[in-house]
Every structure is written in C-alpha cells, then in structure tokens.
A and B are shown apart, each in its own frame.
Chain A
Amino acid sequence: MTGAEMVVQALKDNGVKHVFGYPGGAVLPIYDELFQQEDVQHILVRHEQGAGHAAEGYARSTGKAGVMLVTSGPGATNAVTALQDALMDSIPLVCISGQVPTTLIGSDAFQECDTVGITRPCTKHNWLVRDVNQLAATLHEAFHVAQTGRPGPVVVDVPKDIQFAKGVYTPPQTAPRTSYNPRVEGDQEKIRAAVALMAGAKRPIIYSGGGVVNAGPEASQFLRELVDLTGFPITSTLMGLGSYPASGENWLGMLGMHGTFEANMAMHDCDVMLCIGARFDDRITGRIDAFSPNSRKIHVDIDPSSINKNVHVDIPIVGDAGRVLEDMVRLWRANVKTDKAALKPWWEQITKWRARDSLAYTPNNDIIMPQYAIQRLYELTKGHDTYITTEVGQHQMWAAQHFGFEAPNRWMTSGGLGTMGYGLPAALGVQIAHPEALVIDIAGDASVLMTMQEMSAAVQHNAPIKIFILNNQYMGMVRQWQQLLHGNRLSHSYTEALPDFVKLAEAYGGHGIRCEKPGDLDEAIGEMIAVDKPVIFDCRVANLANCFPMIPSGKAHNEMLLPDEASDEAVANAIDEEGRALV
C-alpha cells in the first residue's frame, strides 16, 4: 500500500466521514486517493483557516474528531490560527499536512516550512513521518491523542515521497504509547470529601465549563441530575453553555466579564464552589485577589495543569467530568439527605439579584437593538433543530446572554483564542455534520469579513448556513473598549467601506436579506429560515450599543457595571488610570 493509500485507509479505520481541506503540490498523492473512493467525503474550502474552523465546528457539534487536510508551506501556516483556537478550546482536531520530500527538507524548497516546528506550541502533539512503515501507526496515534484526555489539535506532517512510498499498513492498535495515559477516574477519597463539603454548604454554586461538553452527552445528563438532587444554583462559562438547560430552574445564566449579575454575585458570595470542566480563565475571575474570597473550592478537571493555575483550590480532582459527576451523583444519593430548606435563604438572595434584571436594555421602536435581534432569533428558531456558531465580539456576548441553549454541542464559539472569523466556517462544518439542521452563524460585520470566502464553499456543498450579521458598522467590542479606556477616540474601529451584504450573498450564489426596522424583523427571520440555501442576513442594529453587564477591567465580581447604571460618565470612569496601560 502506498503512503497516500494508507492516509485514506487510516481515515476510514478511524471512522472519518468528512475531511475539510485544500489541495496543493505536497498533498496531491493523497488527493488522488480521495478522488478514487467514496467513503470519505472531502469538503473543499477557500482558505485553510476555514478548513480548520469548519473541522472544529464539525467536532464540537458531533463529539468526534474534526479532520483537515492541507498542503505544505502556506497550507500549513494558514492552519495555525485554527490549531491554536482548537488548543485553547480543547477541540479534537486532526490536521494532516503535506510536506516537501524528505530529501528536500531543510533546503528551503518551494512551499517548504518547518511545519512541526511552527505548530509545536499550538498542538497537543505533532509528528513528522519519515518512514512509510510508521505512517499508519502515527495516524492512529494522532487520532487517539486528539480525542482522549483533554482533547486538542494534532498535526501529522507527511512528506510527498512518503505518500508515494510503498509500505505495510497496520490497523489501529489497542496499546497506545506508554508515556500517554490521561487519567479519567477521579480519586474516590477526594470525591467523597467534595460531596461532604457540598452537603454542608449554605451558599453553594456549581460553575461548569466546556469540559462537561467535551465529556459527552452523558456528562451533561449527570450534571443535570446533580443539580436536581442538590438544588444548587448553576452557572456556566461561555464554552459550557447548554450542558445545563437555559430553561432549567436553577440556571443563573453565564458568568464572567459579560455574565449576569446573579451569576457573578453568587460566585462572589458563595461558601462552596464546585468548578467542573472549567479553568478559572481571566474573563471569568475578574480580579483574581478578590475572586470568591470566602468560598471553599472544588475543582474537577482532566488536565492536572489546570488545577491551581490561576486560583488556589481546596479539593482538586483530576478526572473526566462525566465520570466524576457520575460518582458525585451516586455518592450524594447514597450518603446525603438533601435539605433544600437550608438553601432557602441563599435562593432568596439570588432571587433578589435576579430581580436586578441585568440583561435589560432599552427597547426601541425605530432601530433594531442587537439584544432584541438575538431574542427574536431565539424565539423564532425554538421549534427547529438549531445549532449556533458565532464570530467574536459584542454579538458573541449578546448571543451568549440572550439565546437560550437547552442541550450541549449546540453552541460553537471561539472562547479561548477569540478568533474573529471563526463562525462562518464553523457553521459550514456543523452543517456538513447535520445536513438537515438549522445552522446559524450569529456574526458581526467586521468578523464575518475575515472568512467571508467560505460562503463560496457553503454554496458549493449545498450547506444552507444562515449568516445573521448584527451590523453596527463598527468593530463593536473594540469601539466599546475605546470608549471605556481611551477617551472614546475611535481609532480605526469604524468600517468605512462595508460591502453591500445582500449583493455579496447574491454574488456568491446565496440569498441576501436586509432588515432595518424592528417591525420587519420577524418576517425577515422567517424568510431566512425558509430559504434552502446559504443566507447572509444584514441586520442593521443600533450602532453604538454597548454590551452590558460588564465587569470592568481590574474589578471584582461584585463590582459589575450594570446597563441602567452605565451612564456616559460611569462608563468613562469605569476603569482607573493604572489599568489603561494593561489590556
């Protein structure tokens, strides 16, 4: 079997149905093999970054590894953003790259780059294959590493002569390398101690994250069970939305910089915090030294390096979120007599915070408020099998705040890296995995232009994705920060020459819709849903709306800036002088 045949065989043996990629000189033998078979479908993108984000969207919405195939040199360098994005959000992503022939490596050959060198810090692991007889084992190992433990991106760099060379194919093996053994079972003693601590809590909170989504649908089931059993309030990070349903009684909304008042206040005032599958990111904690000062903290994470990295915790548990949640549910059932009355004062307090209605905004009859647009989108898509992706910025936060997620794997967003341009290709990937579903990219006018070329891929592959642009003609979040930090000097955050998005959609062979009045919105959204091809929806929203509530830079959870308090003066003074030197 040739190396190229092995690549395709390894894809099949690892259950791969779709590959996102872009051909080029150094991967032609693999493309030739793909051409001669039917089992693995190739989705041609328009830029390798798009292939990466599409594979991420595919992975995030299915729980399986996403696969991308790129050529050497620029093909590999263009993949870097997607690889780092997948690394930070723990997305299983397998990238196969072509490389110049082994004899030319190091000679500055045409389209040569040190792919393993460049991608070393932005992958979980990577390989350069120098022996065709190692190729199959390497590919199987790559899939194993990408999907197990804390998932992440991997790169297998395959020189062109290895693709042509003949060798022996080995099927996936059961005994992986000895140095890689991620721990999935939590320490029983610690879980016992955690349950005991939770049982005595007066002001508990559960703070869940993307790890629960990654641990599979069972993990979300156990999380729901645990919340029901304990009666604890639950909040979640951006990455964890959907694990616990937004319609659930105990749901406080998202926490963090643009989280709800009740979620952040409860985090600040709690006495026991169960953090599961989240990592105390700086957008979550606010000022670290004032973060939840009076609580004892339990941290469940599959990655030991996440524990005690940013915040010191009292009970660290290394293990798979699903397994540990299962143990907790079992132990709670067996040993704890739930006393929901003891939590009553805490819930009363939370109800008061909720009454503050921190996501409120001033409605407008003439101009579409961005929050209103998201709310209508949510209401009008409720009956559908809906998946949401986003770009990065204000629209992303509004989507997280106002779109209710009832199930995991329905929300694809770039959390850690904050990659503008993620949403459109991610939507393509989701739509390929779920051809019948309604897939919407909630976008900003600036972000969406970064990967707009993938409209062409969506049209080619009959992927009827809906790109719902909250068009305020600004890089909204940049503008908001300039207002907060830089005396409202809007340096280069206004987009002078935006394209006509309706014509752009039509130019690509898609369908364009523009909506400028709140009264027309429902009908326009209905049209968007009904059209069976890619749609660009140019939703003209209030240009200068700010995203609130917000924990201003350097402030603690209990120092949120709420929308009704955010007068121009309050906004101007929200961040003190010293903070402006930092981000």
Chain B
Amino acid sequence: MNAQLQPTGSAYFITKETEHDERRTLAVLVDNEPGVLARVIGLFSGRGYNIDSLTVSETEHKRHLSRITIVTRGTPHVLEQIKHQLERIVPVHRVVDLSVVAKERGQERPLERELALIKVNGKGNDRLEALRLADAFRAQVIDANTEHFVFEITGRVSKIEQFIAIMRPLGLVEVCRTGVAAVNRGPEGM
C-alpha cells in the first residue's frame, strides 16, 4: 500500500502486491450450529482467500462449541483481514492466530499434527521395504493381508508428505488425511 506509483487506468485500482505470503495457522472457536462451516468456507471462497488445510470438530459438547483449525496463506495485510472477517461471523466466538502467538512466545511455530491413513498394495521386496520404512516413520499397521497394508501415521505435515512420497513407488493406492490440528506450546489455553 502507498508504495510506488504504477500505471493503470481503472476506478478499481489494483496495487502491485509487494509483501510476501506467509503461512498461518488459525484456531476458530464457533457455535456448533448448522451452516457454521459453510459460513467460514464461504467467506474464504467469496473473498478469494486461500485454505491449505481445514479441520473441524466439536470440542466442548456442553457449550456446543466447535473448533476449526485453518491453515492459510497470504500477505500480512490479507491475513489481518481474514482474522477480522472471521470475527464478523455471528456464531464465531474467537479467532486466534496460533502462528502469531507462537512467535510472541519466542517459538518458531505452534504444535501441529496431522493423521493420515495410507493404503499400500504390493508384493515381494516392495512389501518388505514398505513395512521397514513404516517402522522407521513410526507408522502403525492397522490392517493387512498378504497383499496390502493400511498404515496409520501421525506427525507434522512435512513428515506425512515425505512418507506418502516414499510409499508411492512401493504400491501406494489410497491416502486419507485429516488436515492439521494445532495448539500452542505452554500452559496457557487459547
């Protein structure tokens, strides 16, 4: 904003974006009521924001509260807008930028974990190799017969992605991921 002049000729003035995108993890506490997820997702699509990952589940049954974890990216200016726009949604209680909180506490990022179920179909050496690597990644076998494994793996996004990449040549047939769950380190709640 207010940066160098750039020739254009529209009433809708389009500024060249000079800021860089940042990745942020947001925790959004909402009333667990019909349509609330649609409101959040609709806001992102309607205003052209990015969603890298989204998870949602009821977290406080008595108070009917759900927690939505959204991984998004954008310039600092857009990220500020995302937070304020989310806060405008009537059933939204709080929006906490976990990435910012982590930075304020001198940490690199919030604790983030993802769970994936991964089906691998193979015989012979491939099968052995898959099992050996799963062990190295601390993935559990939760279903198997003589021709396949289903692995359950939990960890950071990067670890899951690495594991999937390794399994691909070994007979990967199906992947299901939960998306990121996140909290900040330390004794304080959000």
Contact with B31, one of A177, A282, A286, A311 (Cβ below 8 angstroms): A177
A289–B9 CB distance below 8 A = no
- How far, in angstroms, from A583 to B13 measured CA to CA in the complex? 9
Q: Does B27 contact A (CB under 8 A)?
A: no
Give every chain B residue within 8 A of A583 (Cβ-Cβ): 10-12
B1-33 to A contact mask, C-beta < 8 Å, 1/0: 111111111111111000000000000001100
B87–A304 CB distance below 8 A = yes
A305–B15 CB distance below 8 A = no
CB distance from B31 to the nearest CB of A (A): 6
Q: Does B124 contact A (CB under 8 A)?
A: no
Output the nearest chain B residue to A575 by Cβ-Cβ distance: B9
B13–A285 CB distance below 8 A = yes
- How far, in angstroms, from A293 to B4 measured CA to CA in the complex? 11
Contact with B35, one of A116, A288, A309, A576 (Cβ below 8 angstroms): A116
Q: Does A553 contact B (CB under 8 A)?
A: yes
Q: Does B185 contact A (CB under 8 A)?
A: no
B13–A578 CB distance below 8 A = no
Q: Does B38 contact A (CB under 8 A)?
A: yes
Give every chain B residue within 8 A of A365 (Cβ-Cβ): none
A554–B90 CB distance below 8 A = no
A557-583 to B contact mask, C-beta < 8 Å, 1/0: 000000000000000000111111011
CB distance from B28 to the nearest CB of A (A): 11
Q: Does A128 contact B (CB under 8 A)?
A: yes
Q: Does A330 contact B (CB under 8 A)?
A: no
Give every chain A residue within 8 A of B39 (Cβ-Cβ): 120
Contact with A293, one of B2, B81, B88 (Cβ below 8 angstroms): B2
Q: Count CB-based A-B contacts (< 8 Å).
A: 100
Give every chain A residue within 8 A of B91 (Cβ-Cβ): 125, 177, 179
Give every chain A residue within 8 A of B38 (Cβ-Cβ): 117, 120
Most buried by A among B5, B31, B46, B88: B88
Most buried by A among B6, B30, B92: B6
Output the nearest chain B residue to A554 by Cβ-Cβ distance: B9
Q: Does A95 contact B (CB under 8 A)?
A: no
Report the interface size for chain B: residues with CB under 8 A from the other chain: 35
- How far, in angstroms, from A257 to B7 measured CA to CA in the complex? 18
Mostly, the A contact residues are: loop
Q: Does B169 contact A (CB under 8 A)?
A: no
A554–B11 CB distance below 8 A = yes
B90–A177 CB distance below 8 A = yes
Output the nearest chain A residue to B16 by Cβ-Cβ distance: A289
Output the nearest chain A residue to B65 by Cβ-Cβ distance: A179
B31–A179 CB distance below 8 A = yes
Contact with B13, one of A178, A288, A308 (Cβ below 8 angstroms): A288
Contact with A578, one of B9, B12, B88 (Cβ below 8 angstroms): B9
CB distance from B19 to the nearest CB of A (A): 12
- How far, in angstroms, from A524 to B15 measured CA to CA in the complex? 49
B39-70 to A contact mask, C-beta < 8 Å, 1/0: 10010001000000000000000000000000
Contact with B88, one of A257, A303, A577 (Cβ below 8 angstroms): A303
A179–B11 CB distance below 8 A = no
Q: Does A255 contact B (CB under 8 A)?
A: no
- How far, in angstroms, from A257 to B12 measured CA to CA in the complex? 11
Q: Does A312 contact B (CB under 8 A)?
A: yes
Interface size class of chain A, counting residues whose CB lies under 8 Å from the partner chain = 35 or more
Q: Does A360 contact B (CB under 8 A)?
A: no
- How far, in angstroms, from A465 to B3 measured CA to CA in the complex? 49
CB distance from A86 to the nearest CB of B (A): 15
- How far, in angstroms, from A293 to B39 measured CA to CA in the complex? 37
- How far, in angstroms, from A291 to B13 measured CA to CA in the complex? 11
CB distance from A99 to the nearest CB of B (A): 14
Chain A residues numbered 289-308 whose CB sits less than 8 Å from any CB in chain B: 289-291, 293, 303-305, 307-308
Mostly, the B contact residues are: loop
B8–A578 CB distance below 8 A = yes
- How far, in angstroms, from A291 to B80 measured CA to CA in the complex? 21
- How far, in angstroms, from A307 to B1 measured CA to CA in the complex? 14
A554–B8 CB distance below 8 A = yes
Give every chain A residue within 8 A of B3 (Cβ-Cβ): 289
Give every chain A residue within 8 A of B89 (Cβ-Cβ): 125
A166-184 to B contact mask, C-beta < 8 Å, 1/0: 0000000000011110000
A579–B8 CB distance below 8 A = yes
Chain A residues numbered 113-170 whose CB sits less than 8 Å from any CB in chain B: 116-117, 120-121, 124-125, 128, 145
Most buried by A among B8, B77, B81, B93: B8
Q: Does B85 contact A (CB under 8 A)?
A: yes
A305/B88 contact (C-beta < 8 A), A120-B42, A121-B46, A312-B2 known:
yes
Q: Does B84 contact A (CB under 8 A)?
A: yes
CB distance from B29 to the nearest CB of A (A): 8
Give every chain A residue within 8 A of B42 (Cβ-Cβ): 120-121
A553–B7 CB distance below 8 A = no
Give every chain B residue within 8 A of A289 (Cβ-Cβ): 1-6, 13, 15
CB distance from A292 to the nearest CB of B (A): 9
- How far, in angstroms, from A327 to B15 measured CA to CA in the complex? 36
A290/B5 contact (C-beta < 8 A), A117-B38, A304-B84 known:
yes
CB distance from A28 to the nearest CB of B (A): 26
Contact with B15, one of A283, A288, A309, A576 (Cβ below 8 angstroms): A288
CB distance from A314 to the nearest CB of B (A): 12
A257/B77 contact (C-beta < 8 A), A120-B42, A124-B90, A179-B93 known:
no
Output the nearest chain A residue to B80 by Cβ-Cβ distance: A308
Give every chain A residue within 8 A of B5 (Cβ-Cβ): 289-290
CB distance from B150 to the nearest CB of A (A): 34
- How far, in angstroms, from A128 to B33 measured CA to CA in the complex? 11
B1–A311 CB distance below 8 A = yes
- How far, in angstroms, from A578 to B16 measured CA to CA in the complex? 15
Give every chain B residue within 8 A of A303 (Cβ-Cβ): 84, 88
Give every chain A residue within 8 A of B189 (Cβ-Cβ): none
CB distance from A146 to the nearest CB of B (A): 11
A282–B2 CB distance below 8 A = no
- How far, in angstroms, from A139 to B1 measured CA to CA in the complex? 42
B8–A128 CB distance below 8 A = no
Q: Does A354 contact B (CB under 8 A)?
A: no
Q: Does B187 contact A (CB under 8 A)?
A: no
CB distance from B130 to the nearest CB of A (A): 44
Q: Does B34 contact A (CB under 8 A)?
A: yes
Give every chain A residue within 8 A of B13 (Cβ-Cβ): 282, 285-289, 554
Contacts A/B (CB < 8 Å), 17 sampled: A120-B38, A121-B42, A128-B35, A179-B30, A179-B92, A286-B11, A286-B13, A289-B4, A289-B13, A290-B5, A308-B77, A311-B2, A554-B9, A576-B7, A577-B9, A578-B9, A579-B9
Closest 4 CB pairs of A and B: A579-B9, A582-B10, A305-B84, A554-B9
Known: A287-B8, A290-B5. 15 other contacts (CB 8 A): A120-B39, A177-B91, A179-B90, A282-B13, A285-B13, A304-B87, A305-B85, A305-B87, A305-B88, A553-B9, A554-B10, A575-B9, A577-B9, A580-B9, A582-B14
